[in-house]
Structure 1
């Protein structure tokens, strides 16, 4: 017995020691000395209390090589999984269930475009040289250190990262902006299958003749809906960041307490582990920048230094068109284009599949762009649907644009840098310590034929899908030093200096109007403190705008004093989505039930599900509520003709029934914090029981859909999981940029068991901010360890 127990103890100890060694071998090294080949001089990396690296180099190439190395230490798996998603290579490590996702991204042409673009890049430009040094740093780390735990779990073989990988990830990020896939099929279906009266709620021009000249068959509609569903699922289920919206504003010195401009920004991105941004403070003689970097990108997408600062939001212009092609009856490989039959181009790619045979994919392309039917494999219908996408069709020197923006201290320099950013559409909000503030919509806006509404699927045979070049950058929405003393960007529809229309899938104006109301108050002098309160505002005026036309119907729908009290509470609610609010829970459940009762019967399950993922629904609901005569109120399949009052009553009763069954009979316990939660999901956390190990959360979440603190969920029944929100909150007063504040939603590191894996998650949920150390004195005072990178003796 004694010998057996001793043996067992030795086995347990050996197992524990082995596990400890294994986990420890995967952790980042943040202290001591390491050799790095191709360095010209030593580089010091001070890590602060949050694990943010402060890199001091003697030259630019060393700086970016060191950045690549330390970025890979913390985020190598994020880099790997993002490039695999973007390039359609997930099935190789995750198996046959990811073939559909790979097929979609191969069909989009991101991989092929990135490979072609990389082959043509001028590698002598400063931006390209920065990229090469950065990728070399990543590859040196990967080659000389144990692979991350996720590589071992999935059996991923190490493969060097290339410029084409960086460009592919940029394509994925741009694609995550594109709302057309989710929106155009359902809007075209409503127009062509339901008719003009149903389309009125969406406030879109009605063309009785239809933009699609040919009739789409039932199989084609199924294709379009399936592609929309696949597009949404590929983004939602990847456990990776995708861009959704954002707030940003700049206040001039005349409106601040310090007398210098103040910049605020919180880009709204899908939450994930690790979070999208990697913070790094970079410096070499003549250059200093505290930047927020995306995976595989050496230049910062957000940044600040003592001289200037900028943030970004989504422009949300429509830069992707779906186009129905007319096929030659005598030759299915030809489509009608500009007065003649034109041959389709095609290429064949092989999708490698883990533990299965490769899948062959034929990707076809018309003169308008890739045919997305191929994303459905052999089940594709009869009408080829092409995709015109500005990201694929413009020169788009994104890397050069942001490289220049990282160094742009004047209005002229910033404006010139932004002009290089052609797709995806972004709003760049910028300020400098000299007193200037500016905003430029960065996008190459296409000239579409007059009268064509790109909210619908276009007809490739009629010429209405053609583009007559692009508008000049001077026609893009923009402002510099406006007299009102502030600039605001919050994803609402912008105005061009020329007055031209800019088609897009814009967010509600409510969030921007709420922010504008507060920023326009000339009695307020803005500082870091009251700017925090504005970023953290959980309120919205949208509920009363939606509910006001329905007040009488809601009061009539109640049964008993308790329900009457709930209705009055809802109608008098101030829109604050605070954790203890019960009206917030009731309202958001009612929004879903009202949408379901009005629209699900006409659209069917699949199209209704896709509508819930669109921005056009947000703007349609108040118009629908105000129109008592809308045909949406009548329930299809019933003998009676239902009124708005009937449908509201049905939605009210269904809301109460669902909340009682989900949250209990006591309505005082229907608090927003109990029903609205945030869990940061890791790609491996999509599978149980790995979610318990890799995911972070859940946390009770304030804010809501289109509140300034935009912790937003998808429209649906309670409980709600927050899908996206502020990916960082940044505040920079350019009177003293060393006082800048920010926060990471989870942690700086993506390495499981690292102390910085989730060390900011609770502080983020509490609305706290932390210093972004900028100057040498602050870096030294807050350094927790120092890593010295030395030139390799070889």
Structure 2
């Protein structure tokens, strides 16, 4: 027995020792010395208390090469999984269940576009050189260090990262903006299958002369919804960040306590582990920037230094059209284009599949763009649906644009940089220490034919899908140093200087209106403290906008004194989504049930599920509530003619029944924090039991859908999981940029078991901010370790 116990102890100790060695071998090295090839001089990297690297180099190439190396230490798996998603290569490591996702991304043309773009890039340009140095740093790290744990779990072979990979990831980020896949099929279906009276609540022009509805058969409608579902699933199930919305504002010195401009920004992005942004403070003689970087991108998407600062929001312009092509009855590989039959182009690709045979894919293209039916494989219907997407069709020197923006300290240089950002559409909100503030909507806006509404699927044979060039950048929405003393951007529909219409899938105006209301108060002098309170604002006026027209119907629906009290509590609610708010729970459940009772019977289950994921539903519900005569209120398949009051009563009763069965009969326990939670999901955390190891959370979450603190949940039944929200909160007072504040939702590192994997998650949920150390004195004072990268004697 003694010998057995001794042997067992040895085995346990060896196993524990082996596990410790294995985990330790995967951790980033943040102290000591390392050698890198192609460095011209030593580079020092000071790591602060959050694991943010502060890189001090002697020249630009060394700086970007060091950034690539340290970025890879913390985020190599994020880089790998993002490039595989964008290039349609997930099935190679995750198996057959990812073939549909790979087929979708191959069909979108991101991979093929990136390869062509990379081949024609001027690699002698300064931005291209920066990218080459950065990628070299990544590849040197990958080649000389053990692979991340995720590589071992999934059996991923190392391979170098390329310029095409960076461009592919940019395509994925652009695609994650595109709401057209979810919105255009369902709106076209409502228009052509239900009619103008049903379309009215969406406040879209009715085009009865459109012939698309006559072309599409039942199988084609199924195709369109299948593509919408596939598009949504590809984004939701990847466990990777995608862009959704954002807040940003700049206040001029006349309105701040310091007398200098103040910039605030919090881009709204799907939560994930690791989070989207990698923070790094970069410097070499003549250059300094504290930046927030995306995976595989050497230039910062958000940044600041002592001279200037900027943030971004999503423009939400419609830069993607779906187009139904007319095929030749005698040749299905031809479509009618500008008065003649033209051949569809096609190419063959193969999708490698783990533990299965490769899947062959034929990708076709019309003159309008890729035929997205290819994403459905052999089940595709008879009508080819083409995709015109500005990301594929414009020159889009976005790398150059952000490279220049990283160095733009004046209005003129910032404006010139922003003009190079053509797709996806972004609002750049900018400020400098000289006192200027500015906003430019960056996008290449196409000239569509008069009267064409791209909210619907367009007819490829009629000419309505053609583009007559692009509008000049001067026609884009923009402002510089407005007299009111502030600029706010919150994804609502902006106004062009020319007054032209800019089609898009914009967010509700409520969030922007709430920010504008606060910022317009001339009695307030803005500083870092009251700006924090505004970023963390959990309220919205949307509930009362929706509920007020329904007040009488809700009071009539209340069955007893307890229900009457709940109705009055709801009608008197101020819209604050605080953790203890029970009205927030009741309201969001009622929104879902009202949508179900009013709209589900008119739509198939699949189209209704797609509608729930669109931004147009947010705008439609208050219009529906205000129109007691809308045909949506009448339930199809019922002998009776239901009124608004009937439907509201059914929704009210269903809401209470669900909440009572889910949360209990005591309504005082229906606190928002009990049902509204945030879990940061890792790609491997999609599977149990790996979720307990890789995911971070859940946390009770304040805020909600379209509040300034936009911790947003989908429309659905309680409980709710937060999908997206502030991917960082940044506040920079240009009087002292070294005092700038920020926060990461999870942690700086993506390496499991690293101390910076989730060290900011709880502070983020509490609404705390942390310093973003900029100046040399602050860097040295807060340095926890120093890594020195030395030139390798090759």
What TM-score does the superposition give when structure 1 sets the normalisation length?
1.00
Shift in Å at residue 209 of structure 1? 1.7
| 1:300 alignment counterpart | 300
- Deviation string for 1:100-157 (max 9, x for gaps)? 0000000000000000000000000000000000000000000000000000000000
- Deviation string for 1:364-412 (max 9, x for gaps)? 0000000000000000000000000000000000000000000000000
| 2:458 alignment counterpart | 458
| 2:783 alignment counterpart | 783
| 2:166 alignment counterpart | 166
Is 2:526 the partner of 1:492?
A: no
| 2:257 alignment counterpart | 257
CA distance in 2, matches of 1:208, 1:94: 46
- Deviation string for 1:733-756 (max 9, x for gaps)? 000000000000000000000000
| 2:88 alignment counterpart | 88
Gaps of 5+ in 1: none
Is 2:612 the partner of 1:643?
A: no
Is 2:473 the partner of 1:473?
A: yes
CA RMSD between the two structures = 0.4
CA distance in 1, matches of 2:455, 2:207: 12
| 1:399 alignment counterpart | 399
- Deviation string for 1:647-683 (max 9, x for gaps)? 0000000000000011111100000000000000000
| Contact 1:85–1:105 (8 Å) recurs in 2 | yes
CA distance in 2, matches of 1:365, 1:260: 52
| 2:6 alignment counterpart | 6
- Deviation string for 1:756-787 (max 9, x for gaps)? 00000000000000000000000000000000
CA distance in 2, matches of 1:68, 1:241: 20
| 2:428 alignment counterpart | 428
| Contact 1:213–1:459 (8 Å) recurs in 2 | no
Shift in Å at residue 719 of structure 1? 0.2
Q: What are the equivalent positions in structure 2 for 1:379-390 lying under 5 Å apart? A: 379-390=379-390
CA distance in 1, matches of 2:778, 2:605: 56
- Deviation string for 1:535-580 (max 9, x for gaps)? 0000000000000000000000011100000000000000000000
| 1:707 alignment counterpart | 707
CA distance in 1, matches of 2:207, 2:786: 65
| 2:689 alignment counterpart | 689
Is 2:676 the partner of 1:676?
A: yes
CA distance in 2, matches of 1:208, 1:63: 59
| 2:287 alignment counterpart | 287
CA distance in 1, matches of 2:212, 2:504: 19
The 3-state SS of whatever aligns with 1:292 is strand
| 1:762 alignment counterpart | 762
Shift in Å at residue 214 of structure 1? 4.2
| Contact 1:214–1:459 (8 Å) recurs in 2 | no
| 1:248 alignment counterpart | 248
| Contact 2:210–2:459 (8 Å) recurs in 1 | no
| Contact 1:213–1:462 (8 Å) recurs in 2 | no
| 2:363 alignment counterpart | 363
Shift in Å at residue 604 of structure 1? 1.6
CA distance in 2, matches of 1:191, 1:158: 50
The 3-state SS of whatever aligns with 2:45 is strand
| 2:52 alignment counterpart | 52
CA distance in 2, matches of 1:560, 1:590: 18
| Contact 2:192–2:213 (8 Å) recurs in 1 | no
CA distance in 2, matches of 1:663, 1:57: 57
The 3-state SS of whatever aligns with 2:484 is coil
| 1:514 alignment counterpart | 514
Is 2:483 the partner of 1:483?
A: yes
| Contact 1:127–1:403 (8 Å) recurs in 2 | yes
Shift in Å at residue 258 of structure 1? 0.1
Is 2:116 the partner of 1:140?
A: no
The 3-state SS of whatever aligns with 1:434 is coil
| 1:554 alignment counterpart | 554
- Deviation string for 1:578-626 (max 9, x for gaps)? 0000000000000000000000000121000000000000000000000
| Contact 2:273–2:750 (8 Å) recurs in 1 | yes
| 2:444 alignment counterpart | 444
Total equivalences in the alignment: 794
| 1:739 alignment counterpart | 739
Shift in Å at residue 207 of structure 1? 1.1
| Contact 2:446–2:468 (8 Å) recurs in 1 | yes
The 3-state SS of whatever aligns with 1:49 is coil
| 1:631 alignment counterpart | 631
CA distance in 2, matches of 1:540, 1:18: 53
| 2:347 alignment counterpart | 347
Q: What are the equivalent positions in structure 2 for 1:582-593 lying under 5 Å apart? A: 582-593=582-593
| 1:577 alignment counterpart | 577
CA distance in 1, matches of 2:57, 2:775: 15
The 3-state SS of whatever aligns with 2:722 is strand
CA distance in 2, matches of 1:270, 1:778: 32
| Contact 1:45–1:53 (8 Å) recurs in 2 | yes
| Contact 1:211–1:452 (8 Å) recurs in 2 | no
CA distance in 1, matches of 2:555, 2:182: 35
| 2:415 alignment counterpart | 415
Shift in Å at residue 211 of structure 1? 5.2
- Deviation string for 1:283-305 (max 9, x for gaps)? 00000000000000000000000
The 3-state SS of whatever aligns with 2:334 is strand
The 3-state SS of whatever aligns with 1:431 is strand
| Contact 2:402–2:417 (8 Å) recurs in 1 | yes
CA distance in 2, matches of 1:650, 1:153: 49
The 3-state SS of whatever aligns with 1:204 is coil
| 2:230 alignment counterpart | 230
| 1:667 alignment counterpart | 667
Is 2:241 the partner of 1:270?
A: no
| 1:565 alignment counterpart | 565
The 3-state SS of whatever aligns with 1:713 is coil
| Contact 1:293–1:301 (8 Å) recurs in 2 | yes
CA distance in 1, matches of 2:741, 2:302: 13
| Contact 1:261–1:437 (8 Å) recurs in 2 | yes
Superposed structure 1 runs of 4+ greater than 6 Å apart: none
CA distance in 2, matches of 1:342, 1:487: 48
The 3-state SS of whatever aligns with 1:282 is strand
| Contact 1:177–1:243 (8 Å) recurs in 2 | yes
CA distance in 1, matches of 2:432, 2:200: 45
CA distance in 1, matches of 2:574, 2:211: 42
In structure 2, do the counterparts of structure 1 residues 243 and 211 end up closer, same or farther at CA, with 3 Å as the change threshold?
Answer: farther
Shift in Å at residue 210 of structure 1? 1.9
| 1:330 alignment counterpart | 330
| 1:595 alignment counterpart | 595
CA distance in 2, matches of 1:538, 1:667: 21
| 1:320 alignment counterpart | 320
CA distance in 2, matches of 1:571, 1:222: 40
| Contact 1:309–1:431 (8 Å) recurs in 2 | yes
| Contact 1:211–1:456 (8 Å) recurs in 2 | no
Shift in Å at residue 212 of structure 1? 2.1
Is 2:748 the partner of 1:748?
A: yes
| 1:727 alignment counterpart | 727
| 1:78 alignment counterpart | 78
| Contact 2:704–2:712 (8 Å) recurs in 1 | yes
CA distance in 1, matches of 2:628, 2:221: 30
Shift in Å at residue 213 of structure 1? 6.9
Shift in Å at residue 414 of structure 1? 0.2
Shift in Å at residue 215 of structure 1? 2.2
Q: What are the equivalent positions in structure 2 for 1:209-220 lying under 5 Å apart? A: 209-210=209-210, 212=212, 214-220=214-220
CA distance in 1, matches of 2:662, 2:763: 29
CA distance in 2, matches of 1:119, 1:675: 50
